Amino acid sequence: MINTVTGAGACPGCGASTASVRDAVPWCPRCEWNLDTYDPVRREREFGWTWVDRWTYRMAFRATGQQFTRLVGRPLGANGSSGARTLTAVASLVLVAAVLALAVTGVWLIVAFPFPNLAILPGVAMVGLAVALRPRFGRLDPELEVLSPDRAPELFALIGEVAAAIGAPVPDVVGVDDDINAYATVVGLRRRKVLGLGLPLWGSLTAGERVALLGHELGHFVNGDPRRGLLTQPAFTMLGSAADLFRPVRTSVGAGLVEMLGDAIGRAFQWMMSRALFVAYLLLVSVALRDSQRAEYLADELAAKAAGTTGATNVLDALLAGESLALAVRRETRAGHGPDRWRSALAEARAASADRLPLLRQLSVRDEASLFAAHPPTGLRRRMLAGRPWQDPAVVLTEARLERIDAELAREYERFRRTVSWSA
């Protein structure tokens, strides 16, 4: 339930009444005094220590605001920040080279000496470590139900039109799943482009919002996001995997003094290695994800190019209403209704909370600020679009065509309905 409290006190900055939504620490809606306050009750712990989480939150809030100020009203650029991209690419190449050197050294220790030889043991260990730390380029989600152009010709035609409107390639794989989400990713060494549409979200959006959603997701194929680049993607996975791999684990219980001492020394070494790798990962990701957030702003601008500014801003407001969307979809699905009723129920919920929407946009700036956030806060994304030149839609999806697309997905909607009913 969304609760709103106003008049809780006067803002010391401008004298206006403060407000609160969802039991959040009050702030001033007019001048945003106290919006940057760390709210431990509403935030998940990222490091486990409150003082560290508070410090990193303030860093993230400040960096997010500074980036918004730097980008608003200016060209966003598909190539991104050259410094951040270069740092990420160099880090990825160094990591890949280190793992390759580890594997080559391990193989040399195994084959260079006559068998049997003690050198085989560290050789096998080094090869195993190299395999564990190898770069991973993703794979197709097994939960994704892949569609074909013959199965959903209207949907694929719409995707092609949106891709052409924003200058993006058509995805190699299109599929649907049961998440309230949508995503575009690139998997494998062949860099296959994948578009995933969550049925609850897709079915709940209006025609213009669906075009905007496609424009945003397809925009990830041309917005220079470092998370999807062949040279930059390893930096996002390899350091984190190494830190987890070196995390100390107690192995000797009830052993003798020598074994316990050796275990303690080994765990101390693992702890230091794990923390050093994690700090390196934190520093790298905090720099690289700033560029990812710039790419998200650009994807929103491409969404506006396809669906118009109204469609792009409306889909962001729909994402802010995630709780209402989930409740509406689940209620209507259990009642046996399809996406037409999902849209009506969500529209009713959004109309009922229209007066709270500006507060939710502001609160998202506090709630979604994080050093590990690949997306800027939803409120800032909408504010960024509002500060850019107005755009009319390049692709218009009629209601009749929307209904034909939903009819093509009738089997997938029915499977989702059964899943929701069984989980009751």
Q: pLDDT tens-digit profile of 236-295? A: 666 666 656 666 555 555 555 655 665 666 566 666 766 666 666 666 766 667 778 888
Place of tokens 């969304």: 2
Q: What's the token pair of residue 164?
A: 């052409």
Prediction pTM value:
0.84
| pLDDT attached to residue 223 | 83
Instruction: Identify any residues that bridge with 175 across adjacent strands, giving them in sequence order.
Output: 146, 196
Whole-number Å distance between alpha carbons of 391 and 163: 17
- Token pair for 129: 């470590």
The residue assigned the tokens 């897709």 is 202
Taking the alpha carbons of 221, 222, 225, 227 in that order, is the dihedral positive or negative? Answer: positive
Of 392, 383, 391, the closest CA to residue 361 belongs to 383
Closest CA to 396 of 165, 84, 126: 165
CB 137 within 8 A of CB 189: yes
Residues in the chain: 424
Report the pLDDT value the prediction gives residue 8, as an integer from 0 to 100: 57
Could you say which residues of the chain have pLDDT below 50?
Answer: 1-2
- How, if at all, do strands 192-198 and 173-177 pair? parallel
Cis peptide before 116 (omega within 30 of 0): yes
CB 289 within 8 A of CB 373: yes
The sign of the dihedral angle between the CA atoms of 315, 17, 2, 34 is positive
Angle CA 344–349–355, to nearest 5: 135
**Coil/strand/helix, residue 266:** helix
Q: Quick check: 311 and 208 in contact, CB under 8 A?
A: yes
